[in-house]
Structure 1
Amino acid sequence: AIILSTVLQMGLRKSLLIGMVRSFVQLIAVGYIIHFIFQLEGIVYQILLLVAMSVVASFTAHRQVGGIRGVFIITWVSIIAGSILTLGFLIAFGVIDTTPRYFIPFGGMIIGNTMNSIIIALERLISQTRDRRHIVESALSLGASPRRAIHHLLKSAVRASLIPRINMLKIAGIIQLPGAFMGMLIAGASPIEAAKLQIIVMYMIVGCVSISIMVLSFLMPRFLFNKNEQLVFTEEKDILKL
């Protein structure tokens, strides 16, 4: 990839190199951290690790979307809400237990996938609100509430963020063999057991993403408008300020 980027002058060589080095360092580091937590076998340490993951995910979303004040806390609250409800449901019904070998991988999967969906939703909502600012302001001038004025934009953002997860459900086992399924096979599990685990993982991810996106859509409008119910976009930049 680096050679192709250099030959084709795509300008991605530096990003690829940084990404490769970062992924190597991060995976080795998290391997040691999780190994240490496995030895402790304490639920508190597992929760702290997942909270740290959610903070990093929220910070990543904040940087990806742009200088939007309030996005970090909105993203974090949305991720935490979806994670607590999803993991709590799985634990309460005995689908998984709180041992590190289940709790940490499952928690990491839902946090990572939820972060990606939240970034898609935020980018879609912000870009569409900016492009259709005159429509939103016209609705406000006619007496619509801020939430009502951007209702159709929220729906579009929610749909855009959920489409990849819906497609994942549709093509699983036909076009794509998902990661958990392949991992179980490599570890020596039977194909049936691998399929069962993958079904749990997919439903878990879709459930957490759906909950988190709904929480995000509920919270986001208050950060798009000021106390006078005016859009807080600046004209020059795609930035929101309170």
Structure 2
Amino acid sequence: MNWEWLGEFFKGMAKPVAALAVVLMAVALSYSQKLGLESEMAYSIVRAFLQLSVIGFVLQFIFNQHNAVWIFLAYLFMVSVAGYTAGQRAKNVPQGKYVAGLSILAGTSVTMLLLIVLKVFPFTPRYIIPVAGMMVGNSMTVTGIAMKKLRDDIKIQMNLVETALALGATPQQAIHQQVKRALILALSPVLDNAKTVGLISLPGAMTGLIMGGASPLEAIQLQIVVMNMLVGASTVSSIMSTYLCWPAFFTKAYQLQSKVFSSD
């Protein structure tokens, strides 16, 4: 096995270490303003350094393999962590972690399958894993927000929902407006980002390509694909999360589950 990349890695760490100067500046400012964030800043940076270093070695190993199993394992790991994180945000939603995980899996896998079938990306670790990571990350955010917002809105408007149920509405009809608001709130940041991309800031994928030597036109083409896939995956994941979680808000007799809305 060729280990030259390891030497290159340590050689390339000179710039990240030098960039710690700006973190020290932030720590100094926090101390001077008595914010009490110095230890948290240090912990966050050390954790980020370790996590990125480990994932760098893992990806280097996977990229050197010629087995699709590693792609699926990496993808499932990302989905599992994202599902757990989104479920933590919506901790009062019954089985929230599983709902989030299934929703993220569905939204990202369908989107990825379409991109592969349309030959937008080749099915190789170097393309699939970074692309999947971006989709999973965005789907995690919108899924957590959608589930939390839906549960909170129903709790606030329990009287309206119960009135609709008493008048003969089905649970899905009774919470239609709450589902709609939850989805709009969850998807708004993704859509706003798509509207302003390139005008306010250059996205990470585009910036990385330009700094890596690619032409701006090539970077733009990739970024357009990225924005399209993020919108698609986020929409599917958020909609599925609401459809999967709302049945747990009701009993078999079509009444609201009081225990679901009794705590925060």
Q: Do the structures match in fold with TM over 0.5?
A: yes
Compute the RMSD of aligned alpha carbons: 1.7
Aligned letter for 2:141?
A: N
Alignment of 1:152-231 (within 5 A): 152-231=177-256
1:4 Cα deviation from its structure 2 partner: 4.0
Aligned letter for 1:156?
A: R
1:14 Cα deviation from its structure 2 partner: 4.5
Query: 1 CA distance for matches of 2:219 and 2:104?
Result: 27
1:41 Cα deviation from its structure 2 partner: 2.5
TM-score, normalised to structure 2, is 0.85
Alignment counterpart, residue 117 of structure 2, candidates 92, 95, 106: 92
The superposition leaves residues 193-219 of structure 1 with CA deviations (integer Å, 9 ceiling, x where unpaired) of 000000000101111101111211221
Query: 2 CA distance for matches of 1:24 and 1:231?
Result: 46
Query: 1 CA distance for matches of 2:190 and 2:237?
Result: 13
Query: 2 CA distance for matches of 1:6 and 1:146?
Result: 52
* 2:50 aligned with 1:25: yes
1:233 Cα deviation from its structure 2 partner: 4.0
Alignment counterpart, residue 263 of structure 2, candidates 231, 237, 240: 237
Deviates more, 1:99-108 or 1:58-67: 58-67
1:3 Cα deviation from its structure 2 partner: 3.9
1:47 Cα deviation from its structure 2 partner: 0.9
Percent identity, please: 37
Larger radius of gyration: 2
Query: 2 CA distance for matches of 1:5 and 1:130?
Result: 38
TM-score, normalised to structure 1, is 0.92
Query: 2 CA distance for matches of 1:7 and 1:130?
Result: 42
* 2:83 aligned with 1:52: no
Does the Cα contact within 8 Å between 1:130 and 1:233 map onto a contact in 2? no
Aligned letter for 2:205?
A: A
Gaps of at least 5 residues in structure 2 are 1-25
Q: Secondary structure at the match of 2:64?
A: helix
Alignment of 1:70-81 (within 5 A): 70-81=95-106
Query: 2 CA distance for matches of 1:116 and 1:16?
Result: 23
Q: 1:11 to 1:140 in 2, by over 3 A?
A: farther
* 2:86 aligned with 1:61: yes
Q: Secondary structure at the match of 1:220?
A: helix
